[in-house]
Each structure stands twice: as structure tokens, then as C-alpha cells.
């Protein structure tokens, strides 16, 4: 029997995730069945279950895929000669979630499932702690690089500010998902104004 390559496995996971994203966006997590996903992927049920034992496992992987690439914004913010200002970074992340990403409602569904499903709650909690750590590193570096704050004070200040800043991103995603495009425009403008007025 030919050996299944890692490239093939990755391609299959992507194919199944694409199908799941389409189904979750169309019907929601609760409304979409594994049968829907199997049909959308154009695969057999057995082929799908080789990679994902349950819809919850698949949803968690899809959520990672939706959120993961957005963190590249932080890498770009610290890779140049100067660390990019928070107002620009956070608005860019919001844009990447709400404009360039038609599946951001999947994140809202994960948060909803987390209110009563421990598997989702553990995933959401772990993801959030990772985000806090990465954003804290970024903001502390910005405070040192652009504001001349010493390292200890910069990290302490960043640790206080970051949870609130992330809450604004979460709020933007929720409002835009529930209330649509007009809300997205208002929320984006409001967050940009708030961030621009803060003396980091």
C-alpha cells in the first residue's frame, strides 16, 4: 500500500475544513451535521472520520485556522525598523477578521459553545491565554521601542492593557456578526478613535 504523505494529509484536512467552514457559515455549528460536511467535501464518511473523530474536533481545528493567520499582523508589526503603533495594529487585525475573512462568525459560534461545552471552553481558554501572551509581548516591545519605557514597566503596563484591548476585538466580531455591515463600520471607526486617543 502506498505511503500517505504529510502533504496529502494536510491537503485532506484543508479540504474537510473548507467544507466545514462553508457548512458552519451556512447553518451554524448546531445546524450543520457531519453528513452535511461529508457531502460538501465530496468525500466518503470514512475518509472524513480518519481525520476528525467528531464535529467538535473539526470545529476547533477550523477555529484555529480562522484565527491563526491574523496573528501574522503582530509579526509584521515588530519586524521592521520601528514597532507599529497599537491603533494601527489592532484596527488591521479587526479588518482582517471582518473584511478579509468571511468566516469570522465561526469564532462567535466557538465562544457560544464554550459556555457549556468543556472541550470548547478549554480550547477557547488556551487560545485566549496565547493571544494575551503574544499581544503583551508586542505591546511591551512597542512601549520600550517607541515610548522609551523601561522593560519591567512596559511589560506591567502591557499586561494590564491587553485584556481590555482584546475584548474590543471580540466585541467588534460579535457586533458585526449579529448586526451586519453598518455595525462593522461604526465599530471600526469607534475603536480606531479610542485607540488613537490612548496614551500608551
Over residues 101-159, the pLDDT tens digits come to: 767 777 788 888 888 888 888 888 888 898 899 999 999 999 999 999 999 999 999 99
Q: At 73, list the grid cell.
A: 499582523
Comparing CA positions, the residue from 87, 63, 68, 65 lying closest to residue 77 is 87
Domain boundaries, the chain: 6-53, 66-197
80: pLDDT strictly greater than 90: no
What CATH fold (topology level) applies to the domain 6-53? Arc Repressor Mutant, subunit A (1.10.10)
> Can you give the pLDDT at residue 2?
58
> Can you give the pLDDT at residue 138?
94
59: pLDDT strictly greater than 80: yes
> Can you give the pLDDT at residue 74?
85
CATH code at 66-197: 1.10.357
67: pLDDT strictly greater than 80: no
pTM: 0.81
Q: How far apart are CA 185 and CA 200, in angstroms?
A: 24
> Can you give the pLDDT at residue 45?
93
pLDDT classification of 163: cutoffs 50, 70, 90: very high
Residue 46, SS3 per DSSP: helix
Amino acid at each position: 500500500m502506498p505511503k500517505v504523505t504529510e502533504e496529502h494529509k494536510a491537503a485532506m484536512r484543508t479540504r474537510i475544513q473548507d467544507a466545514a467552514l462553508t457548512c458552519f457559515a451556512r447553518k451554524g455549528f448546531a445546524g450543520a451535521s457531519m453528513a452535511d460536511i461529508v457531502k460538501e467535501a465530496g468525500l466518503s464518511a470514512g475518509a472524513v472520520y480518519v481525520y476528525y473523530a467528531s464535529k467538535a474536533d473539526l470545529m476547533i481545528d477550523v477555529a484555529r485556522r480562522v484565527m491563526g493567520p491574523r496573528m501574522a499582523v503582530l509579526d509584521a508589526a515588530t519586524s521592521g525598523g520601528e514597532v507599529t503603533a497599537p491603533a494601527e495594529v489592532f484596527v488591521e487585525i479587526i479588518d482582517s477578521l471582518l473584511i478579509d475573512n468571511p468566516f469570522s462568525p465561526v469564532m462567535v459560534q466557538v465562544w457560544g459553545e464554550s459556555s457549556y461545552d468543556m472541550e470548547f471552553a478549554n480550547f477557547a481558554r488556551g487560545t485566549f491565554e496565547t493571544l494575551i501572551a503574544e499581544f503583551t509581548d508586542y505591546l511591551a516591545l512597542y512601549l520600550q521601542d517607541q515610548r522609551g519605557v523601561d522593560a519591567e514597566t512596559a511589560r506591567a503596563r502591557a499586561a494590564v492593557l491587553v485584556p481590555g484591548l482584546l475584548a474590543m476585538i471580540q466585541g467588534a466580531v460579535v457586533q458585526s456578526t449579529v448586526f451586519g455591515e453598518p455595525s462593522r463600520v461604526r465599530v471600526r471607526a469607534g475603536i480606531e478613535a479610542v485607540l488613537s486617543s490612548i496614551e500608551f
